[in-house]
Amino acid sequence: MSGHNVWTHKGTFLLAAVGSAVGLGNLWRFPYLTGENGGGAFILIYALTIFAVGIPILIAETMLGRTSRRSPIMGMRHLTKTHRTSRAWESIGWLGAASAFLILSFYSVIAGWALHYTWLMLTGSLVGADAQTISDGFNALLASPRLMTMYHTLFIAGSALIVGMGIHKGIESGLRIMMPALFVILIVVLIYGIINGDVGAAASFLFTFNIGDLSLEGWLQAMGQSFFTLSLGMGAIMAYGAYMSSDASLTRTAIAVAFVDTAVAMVAGLAIFSLVFGAGLETGQGPGLMFVTLPLAFADMPFGALVGGVFFILVLGAALSSSISLIEPVAAFLVERFDMTRPQAVTIMVVAAWAMGLLTVVSFNVWAEGTIFHSLFGRSAFEFIELLTNIFMPLGGLMIALFAGWALTQSEVMKELGTHPTWFALWRFLVRFVGPAAVSFVFLRTIPQVEGYLIPTLGSLIIVAAFAIGQRLRHSNPS
């Protein structure tokens, strides 16, 4: 068992997975994407993808962690041996580690903005400010590499501290304090939004479905968001799954994670849009929704500075509980593979991701244009890193689905899942066909817009499909 231990309680995996899933994706990205894509129709596609694709892959990824009881890379290596599949599937672990590293690098920078706004709110600096002042303030933050680097450093160091203290003393104890506090704050902000804002307008914006409103781009973003928000396809869930109690139900836990994550996104959306509509502001502000529109709404409301401050503390906590799950898979790998101590492993991962994060910092100011990234890829370093993760995450999810559904010895998978044969058959149908089809659809529509990626991506898809078929033939009696 390579020294791997297990969470203290049967329910800790649920807590940890919710901590990973609920993050900037729910509080920052989901509301602004919904705002840009016209509301209800976007949410419909998002929810459908979560249920048909997200949950089955979430089950698969957790299962890979729990059966191997190792960090993602070592775990995949182990499974390819014990199930006698191609070694190439180990790339799932490497791809996951690469994505975790890339996501952490920019996630920490954006979480740093929330740190800045917590400070601004609690000191009352924005009380009564007008739209121009607030948007100038945000632009000034983006223009300052020094400020952004400072916040980025603080945030990533905080995350490193928690992971460095180990899965029990650090991650578990941290989550046990943070998560309940986050839910309380979320409810407080919702109630505040209902009292001071326009919850009717928010609800009809979020829950009125008109599928015709949705562009193809919106479809893709909804599906991409459902992967991002569940932390899928990159080993974070696998790493946490490795510590999951064998008594806990994989299927029920995964459904609970997806349910809570979706509920948090909806409540956050409801609260944020109540405030935005209540203040007569626009929904389609993009990434600035949380950092410009929302502070403006708080600026003129009773106790706005206090509630706004508390809201940004919520954002910070949610980001922190996610970022620790980005560090864990890589740190666990370094400990297992190179016999490092946990603090050493965490330091290596975090220092590297911190340095990489500087690329995101400068993408908003000194390197905003005219860099090698612009000439090669037509976008800033930050946008390029984001694009890479948007490719890696679904690709990882796709490979996890294929590996679990086709390559593994199915009788053992069935034992590990421990569900009724009907549910097992449903799950397997979803990971074998529906998931891969949905992800390929997202790829094929996104990638051609980015010249140069088409061939490698299609190539890897074909290689992966070939594996799947190869594995199928190898286990002549797969069920």
CB of 171 to ligand TRP, least distance (A): 12
What is the spatial distance between Cα 383 and Cα 360, in angstroms, rounded to a whole number?
A: 8
Q: Which is nearer to ligand TRP, 85 or 389 (CB)?
A: 389
Residue nearest to ligand TRP (CB): 25
The residue from 21, 98, 202, 398 that contacts ligand TRP (CB under 6 A) is 21
Which range, of 49-57, 170-178, 223-231, 344-352, touches ligand TRP by CB under 6 A?
Answer: 223-231
The residue from 15, 18, 20, 461 that contacts ligand TRP (CB under 6 A) is 20
204-210 — which CB contacts under 8 Å span 24+ positions?
205/39, 205/40, 205/273, 205/277, 205/283, 206/34, 206/39, 206/40, 206/43, 206/266, 206/269, 206/270, 206/273, 207/40, 207/43, 208/39, 208/40, 209/40, 209/41, 209/43, 209/44, 210/38, 210/40, 210/41
Q: Which is nearer to ligand TRP, 315 or 413 (CB)?
A: 315
The residue from 228, 240, 243, 443 that contacts ligand TRP (CB under 6 A) is 228
Q: Which is nearer to ligand TRP, 33 or 296 (CB)?
A: 33
Q: Which is nearer to ligand TRP, 316 or 413 (CB)?
A: 316
Q: Which is nearer to ligand TRP, 27 or 214 (CB)?
A: 27
User: How far from each other are the two terminal CA atoms of the chain, in whole angstroms?
Assistant: 27
Whole-angstrom CA distances from 387 to 18, 99, 379, 384, 394 are: 25, 11, 10, 5, 11
Looking up tokens 């935005």 gives 276
- Applying CB under 6 A, what is the total number of residues that bind ligand TRP? 15
Q: Which is nearer to ligand TRP, 31 or 137 (CB)?
A: 31
Q: Which is nearer to ligand TRP, 328 or 336 (CB)?
A: 328
CA 402 to the chain's CA centroid: 21
The verdict on 221 binding ligand TRP (CB under 6 A) reads no
Which range, of 130-138, 178-186, 224-232, 283-291, touches ligand TRP by CB under 6 A?
Answer: 224-232
Q: Which tokens in the block code for residue 299?
A: 């600026």
Q: Which is nearer to ligand TRP, 20 or 410 (CB)?
A: 20
Of 153, 156, 148, 66, nearest to 104 by C-alpha is 156
- Strand residues in 343-459 grouped as ranges (E): none
The residue from 80, 226, 229, 251 that contacts ligand TRP (CB under 6 A) is 229
DSSP string, 261-320: HHHHHHHHHHHHHHHHHHTT--S--TTHIIIIIHHHHHHTSTTHHHHHHHHHHHHHHHHH
Which range, of 68-76, 226-234, 294-302, 423-431, touches ligand TRP by CB under 6 A?
Answer: 226-234
The residue from 4, 16, 17, 26 that contacts ligand TRP (CB under 6 A) is 26
Site string for ligand TRP, 315-354 (x = CB under 6 A): -------x--xx----------------------------
Which range, of 199-207, 225-233, 243-251, 434-442, touches ligand TRP by CB under 6 A?
Answer: 225-233
The residue from 25, 38, 137, 174 that contacts ligand TRP (CB under 6 A) is 25
Q: Which is nearer to ligand TRP, 293 or 322 (CB)?
A: 322
CB of 240 to ligand TRP, least distance (A): 9
What is the tally of helices (H) and strands (E) in the chain?
Answer: 24, 0
What is the spatial distance between Cα 300 and Cα 291, in angstroms, rounded to a whole number?
A: 15
CB of 37 to ligand TRP, least distance (A): 17
Residues 6+ apart with CB under 8 A from 78: 68, 70
Whole-angstrom CA distances from 22 to 17, 29, 133, 261, 319 are: 8, 11, 31, 6, 8
Looking up tokens 């309940």 gives 180
Amino acid at 31: P
The residue from 141, 220, 236, 305 that contacts ligand TRP (CB under 6 A) is 236
Site for ligand TRP in 79-108 (CB under 6 A): 103
User: By the criterion CB under 6 A, which residues form the site for ligand TRP?
Assistant: 20-21, 23-26, 103, 228-229, 231, 234, 236, 322, 325-326
